[in-house]
């Protein structure tokens, strides 16, 4: 399983941070945001709650108030990195089952981060905000290849369009096909490039 087929999982990695992130992704996919807990992630990693807490505790910063805060900070860093690595500004749409799982986990992860913010843990939200800004820049850079610089607002609109299309494609009975969704992305990309190439008034 590689990053191109599984956006948010690295089951073959022995990295401690990858193991933590994989546990969070597995729980999000199996139980949703409400199911995320230290015990559930420990079970996903085939270890006891106490053993998993001790495992995460080893990465705890003196400024972090609890092991749970540490876990969410690590998960945010790793999961956002994986997403950016997978999408790379291409505004990729889920075609395979593994890609659908990855996009579903990504959307659920963002909901989890918003919940952490409401609980007063703002670090994951800051990490996510930085990642979304980089995602927009990657999209802007890719749209601008070989031509005039596409406006930032056009890249923002393109990323928002892709977000919405991905959510629609995850529905049990999608209202459009992947081909239709990709065609919409391409049409909007062409329009953004056309605007960028117009002479300044």
How far apart (Å, rounded) are the C-alpha atoms in residues 7 and 86?
Answer: 6
Share of the chain above pLDDT 70, in %: 95
pLDDT at 7 over 90: no
Residue 15, classed as helix, strand or coil, is coil
How far apart (Å, rounded) are the C-alpha atoms in residues 193 and 145?
Answer: 10
Residue 18, classed as helix, strand or coil, is helix
pLDDT computed for residue 201 by the predictor: 54
Q: Which of 13-17, 95-99, 104-108, 166-170 is least confident?
A: 13-17
Number of domains the chain contains: 1
Q: Which domain holds residue 55?
A: 16-87+95-193
Residue 41, classed as helix, strand or coil, is helix
Task: Tell whether 188 is covered by a domain.
Answer: yes
How many alpha carbons lie under 13 Å from residue 183 in its C-beta half-sphere?
5
pLDDT at 2 over 60: no
The answer for residues whose C-beta is within 8 angstroms of residue 188's C-beta and 6 or more apart is 157, 158, 161
pLDDT at 184 over 90: yes
Contact yes or no for 131/83 (Cβ under 8 A): yes
Task: Tell whether 200 is covered by a domain.
Answer: no
Contact yes or no for 79/8 (Cβ under 8 A): yes
Task: Tell whether 133 is covered by a domain.
Answer: yes
35-61 pLDDT per residue, tens: 999 899 889 888 888 888 887 887 887
Task: Tell whether 6 is covered by a domain.
Answer: no
Interval 8-15 mean pLDDT: 88
Q: Which of 97-101, 144-148, 168-172, 177-181 is least confident?
A: 144-148
110-168 pLDDT per residue, tens: 999 999 999 898 999 999 999 999 999 999 999 998 888 999 999 999 999 999 999 99
Task: Tell whether 4 is covered by a domain.
Answer: no
Mean pLDDT estimate for the chain: 90
Provide the CATH number for the domain around residue 21.
1.10.357.10
Task: Tell whether 8 is covered by a domain.
Answer: no
Task: Tell whether 199 is covered by a domain.
Answer: no
Task: Tell whether 41 is covered by a domain.
Answer: yes
């Amino acid at each position: 399983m590689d990053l191109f087929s599984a956006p948010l999982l690295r089951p073959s990695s022995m990295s401690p941070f990858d193991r933590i992130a994989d546990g969070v992704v597995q729980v999000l996919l199996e139980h949703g945001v409400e199911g995320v807990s230290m015990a559930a992630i420990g079970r996903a990693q085939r270890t006891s709650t106490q053993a998993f807490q001790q495992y995460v505790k080893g990465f705890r910063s003196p400024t972090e108030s609890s092991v749970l805060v540490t876990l969410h900070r690590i998960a945010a860093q790793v999961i956002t990195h994986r997403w950016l690595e997978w999408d790379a500004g291409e505004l990729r749409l889920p075609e395979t089952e593994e890609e659908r799982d990855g996009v579903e986990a990504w959307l659920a992860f963002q909901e989890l981060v918003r919940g952490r913010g409401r609980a007063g843990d703002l670090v994951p939200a800051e990490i996510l905000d930085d990642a979304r800004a980089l995602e927009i820049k990657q999209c802007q850079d890719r749209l601008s290849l070989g031509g005039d610089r596409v406006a930032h607002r056009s890249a923002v609109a393109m990323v928002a369009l892709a977000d919405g299309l991905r959510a629609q494609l995850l529905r049990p009975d999608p209202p459009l096909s992947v081909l239709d969704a990709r065609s919409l992305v391409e049409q909007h990309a062409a329009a953004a490039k056309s605007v960028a190439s117009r002479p300044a008034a």
